[in-house]
Structure 1
Amino acid sequence: MITSNGYVLDERPERLGRLEAVPASLRDDRDALWERIRRDGYLYLGGHLDPALVNDFRSYYFGELEPTGLVAPSGVAEGIDADGEIDRGLTRSTLFDEIVPGDQYAALTSHPTIRGWFQWFLGDDVHLHKRRIIRHTRPGENGIGTATQAHYDLVYLREGTDRVLSMWIPLGDCAVETGGLAYLEGSHHRVMAQERAGRLKMPAASITADLPGLADEYDTRWLVNDYTAGDVMVHSAHIVHASTDNVDPARRIRLSTDIRYQRISDPIDWRWQDHWSDEDGL
């Protein structure tokens, strides 16, 4: 049973499917990749990063947060949940004052295998938005607001270009049961049509936590996958996506980061040029 924010996803074939990874034969074909992202709204690049790169950052992240009570002392490298109360004030200060503005996070998000890929794919010098988000979800958390609700990124990035691309990076293995990202198949086509018609000039907000209801409304499927360390997802600003609940029986904490790159020559949303904070209003 797959859930998101406590809602049970409909697992019939017409409502649930698997993401399609880019075949190895197309990985170096930029035109084919552009055709694919226009068609699907996403590029699933399996094994794009060295697994050691993301696993080393995972170990660093949970090592920094160990004093908060988040992780079991014997499970820091793996990010095993301590299953107890945490010091929320210390968690917040460690995350926003140390990890987010820190050198380790900057090195990961601007790594040549990431920045260089965007330069190649976009055919221009690129800009990485300074507002980069790290999320961790403890196993057993459920109910509205615990998993990422259905949304598309453009509603949060309206002051710049709509040609910004997001990269979602699972920081460690991330199966569906650990709270991986899910995409609403083909939703970017409907969203772009509604944007062109001027019907979606809404405030920055999620669409809904009710993923099965949204799949019925769009008459389409949620696409999921079991991600492994080194996989990345690149997606357009228009495709609707969300995450599943973390019900990992091994009590692994789900950890991921999402970052945004664009051509430096396109308009840049000025509100995204400061470090991420839970009080930045975005």
Structure 2
Amino acid sequence: MLTSNGYTLDSSEKRLGWLEPVPDADRTKRDVLWERLRRDGYLYLPQQLQADLVNGFREYYFSTMAETGIIAPGTHPADGIGRAACADREKVHGVLFGDIVPGVRYEELTTHPDVKGWFQWFLGDDVHLHKRKIIRHLMPGETGIGTATQAHYDLVYLREGSERVLSMWIPLGDCPPEMGGLTYLEGSHHWALADERERGNRRPAASITADLPGLAEKHDSRWLLADFAAGDVVVHSSYVVHASTDNVDALGRIRLSTDIRYQRASEPIDWRWQEHWHEDDGL
């Protein structure tokens, strides 16, 4: 049973499905990938990154966080086993925003040739990485409104630049569905785009809802999941609706992920996203 913000997802075939990975034979066919992106709103690219690169960053992250109390005593940081007791929130934010987010290791990961180079190839142009890059950890057992990412599409937070920004979501370590990975509402980019262009419905910079099963029912659609392995990534459009599920991992592992945004450097850039991410940045 999967939940999101405490809501139980409908597990029927009409409401829950699986992301479709890009076949190996199509990975180097740019036109085919663009066709898939327009059709599906996302590109699920298994093993786009080396697993060692991703797992190495996971170990770095939790080693750096060790003094904050989020890791269970006596466990290896690379495993990211969450501590049952509450961590020191002020210490967590101090390490996250003071050390990790502006740090060299994070910059190296997000500009790695298999990331930046891929976007240069796919977009066929010089590219720009938004400096505001978000990295999240989701503790096992957390539930209720405000824990998991609520349903939204990215454009509502990027109004001052190009609508053709592409996001890449990178699970930092293995992330089966029970660990609270990202989930996409099938076909949602079509109605989101239609709302904005045909009816002028420009949603505010806020989530649509925490009620994922209700949203799927409203649009007669399915939430799409994946059993992500370290090295997998998903690239998605700024219009596709996505969210995350709650972390109910029986092993107590913390879900760690990052979402970053690339676009053509020649297109308008939202200036508000050109500083390091911080909880007080107002976005």
Quickly name the TM-score band, shorter chain normalised: over 0.9
Unaligned segments of structure 1, at least 5 residues: none
**In the TM superposition, what are the counterparts of 1:189-200 in structure 2 within 5 Å?**
189-200=190-201
1:40-66: per-residue Cα shift (whole Å, max 9, x none)?
A: 000000010000001000000000111
Match of 2:205, as an amino acid? A
Letter in 2 for 1:223: L
Offset of 1:198 from its aligned partner? Answer: 4.4
- Worse overlay, 65-74 or 172-181: 65-74
Determine if the alignment matches structure 1 residue 184 to structure 2 residue 185. yes
Partner of 1:46: 46
- By how many angstroms is 1:8 displaced? 0.4
What letter corresponds to residue 5 of structure 1 in structure 2? Answer: N
How do 1:5-154 residues align onto structure 2 when only pairs under 5 Å count? Answer: 5-73=5-73, 74-154=75-155
Q: Offset at 1:86?
A: 1.1
Counterparts of 1:56 and 1:200, CA distance in 2:
43
Q: Which one-letter code corresponds to 1:150 in the other structure?
A: A
Residues 215-245 of structure 1 show CA distances to partners (whole Å, capped at 9, x for unaligned) of: 0111110000110000000000000000000
Return 196-205 or 238-247, whichever deviates more. Answer: 196-205
**2:214 maps to which residue?**
213
> Displacement, 1:199?
3.2
Cα distance, 1:164 vs structure 2: 0.4
SS at match of 2:65: helix
**3-state SS, counterpart of residue 62 of structure 2:** helix
With structure 2 as the length reference, what TM-score do the two structures score? Answer: 0.99
Any stretches of 5+ residues in structure 2 without a counterpart?
none
Q: Distance in 1 between matches of 2:216 and 2:62?
A: 35
The percentage of counterpart residues that share the same residue type is: 66
For 1:234, what is the secondary structure of its paired residue? strand
> How many Å separate the matches in 2 of 1:158 and 1:195?
12
TM-score, with length taken from structure 1 = 0.99
SS in 2 for 1:17: strand
The CA deviation at 1:268 is 0.2
Identify the residue that residue 165 of structure 2 maps to in structure 1. 164
Opposite residue 165 of structure 2, the aligned amino acid is: V
Q: By how many angstroms is 1:85 displaced?
A: 2.2
8 Å Cα contact 1:185-1:223 kept in structure 2: yes
Structure 1: distance between partners of 2:194 and 2:171: 30
Give the deviation of 1:185 after TM superposition. 0.2
Q: How far is 1:93 from its partner?
A: 0.6
Q: Return the alpha-carbon distance in structure 1 between the equivalents of residues 202 and 44 of structure 2.
A: 29
Q: Which amino acid aligns with 2:265?
A: I
1:194 maps to amino acid:
D
2:136 is paired with a residue of what secondary structure? strand
Partner of 2:276: 275
Give 2:19's aligned amino acid. Answer: L
- For 2:265 and 2:160, how far apart are their aligned partners in 1? 15
Letter in 1 for 2:130: H
CA distance in 2, matches of 1:34, 1:203: 28
Number of residue pairs aligned between Structure 1 and Structure 2: 282
Structure 2 match to 1:255: 256
Report the Cα offset of residue 108 of structure 1: 0.2
Q: Deviations over 1:138-196 (max 9, x none)?
A: 00000000000000000000000000000000000001000010000000000111110
* Partners of 1:75 and 1:84 in 2: CA distance: 17
Note the C-alpha offset of 1:75: 2.8
State the distance in 1 between where 2:8 and 2:88 align.
31
Instruction: Give the whole-Å Cα distance in 2 for the aligned partners of 1:170 and 1:184.
Output: 18
* In 1, Cα distance between equivalents of 2:29 and 2:203: 36
Comparing 82-91 with 261-270, greater Cα deviation is found at 82-91
Whichever residue aligns with residue 11 of structure 2, its letter is E
Runs of 4+, deviation exceeding 4 Å: none
| Cα contact 1:66–1:72 (8 A) shared by 2 | no
